[in-house]
Chains A and B, each alone.
Chain A
């Protein structure tokens, strides 16, 4: 059942992080979008903003609920997914692909090692600790 790509890292708040050279791409997991249901709005920071690991960087709203987004790593926002303004449902349809949210230039290499591996995240979800 679990849709948790092995090559990504994860937070306990259900964000994923993908290393792309010295940049990190960020989104929310399949599990997160499933729990939220239909996503109708995503509020993201502006390019150039500094985000801090474990701190909120934005908000995702579904019909049911509003939920904070937490930065997996600290750094500067290089890109945001502007397609989500018009088509927030991409987060449901393709959470690890077209539903990405940020690209961040990591300011501290140490953050990456603090993140959960796919296996750890899978265990975390399986334990129902959400």
Chain B
């Protein structure tokens, strides 16, 4: 067990690689109840969110989910999040556990001007169980009172899972098909056990933080605090696709657009190591004894069977195919910029 965002979390249950393979080949359960959830309602909820977040909330339909960012005026990232449109004037934001207090202070302060937007921090009462893997649909389908197969990618619906009132969301952080189930904290244990029980024949297993990290890394999904933070700009992080300048004014817009127009000085890229030494967070990216950047995430990727990493690299050296080195214990080990995701995504599009 390790401390993570104020919670004690298991790094692994049986072994990181075994758990990783379970999710890629069958189905795994993640207790990610540490994540934060805020609800915002009211006639000005949409307006407030349009100013606070970078993606276009106006384009979000009821029943749809959107990946988005909270930014500060200089374009630095306060947090990344998923935004749910529960109703015409009702939304839910899922934020990173370590950022709950910071985000809460930020969103409530920034939207004070919008009197018709009421915020509620429902993190403590909300459990979140991710069910991920090719057999996730069958497993959740067995326990749900609605047709979960009909839920599209980045869509959700309300229903009951093992009798508990649940927001069934076709989202995840693994690159596999699957669901994230938001339910009352008091029902979490029961639903968790039901999923383990009814998934036994599918080979279901609980998955720890270690495999959560290797799974998301193979997909190049950003991890807040590692790959993105208040010193990184969405454009250099490769997250320009969730920044919609055309929607109008929002916090960080001018700074982000400036970087987009000028081109980022550095880029977050995928790196593959020539050998199996692991390029870890903070290791330097080098070439001919020059420092070109820094590794933000790195691990052995069980599905690609290679040592892989994400790193910020000076733009001229960030093209796919560029040969670089990573300084590992004083030695420049050969690495190459590669296309991402490292492993093909199998989410239901």
Contacts and interface: CB of A to CB of B under 8 A. Distances in A.
Q: Do A and B come from one complex?
A: yes
A63 B276 contact: no
A63 B299 contact: yes
Q: Which of A41, A63, A88 has the most CB of B within 10 A?
A: A63
Interface residues of B, number: 17
B276 A40 contact: yes
A45 interface: no
B12 interface: yes
A64 interface: yes
A43 B16 CA distance: 21
Given A41-B300, A41-B307, A64 B275 contact: no
Contacts of B275: 41
Contacts of A61: 276-278, 300
A38 B16 CA distance: 7
Contacts of A88: 276
Given A63-B210, A63-B299, A37 B16 contact: yes
A38 B307 contact: no
A66 B278 CA distance: 8
A64 B277 contact: no
A37 B12 contact: yes
B329 A64 contact: no
A: contact size bracket: 10 to 19
Interface in B1-38: 11-12, 15-18
Interface in B250-293: 275-278, 280
Nearest to A41: B276
A110 to B, nearest CB: 30
Contacts of B280: 66
A83 interface: no
Contacts of B169: none
B214 interface: yes
A61 B16 CA distance: 13
Contact of A64 (B16, B18, B276, B307): B16
A10 B16 CA distance: 27
A61 B273 CA distance: 14
Contacts of A85: 276
A59 interface: yes
Interface in A33-76: 37-38, 40-41, 43, 59, 61, 63-64, 66
Nearest to B214: A63
Interface of A: 37-38, 40-41, 43, 59, 61, 63-64, 66, 85, 88
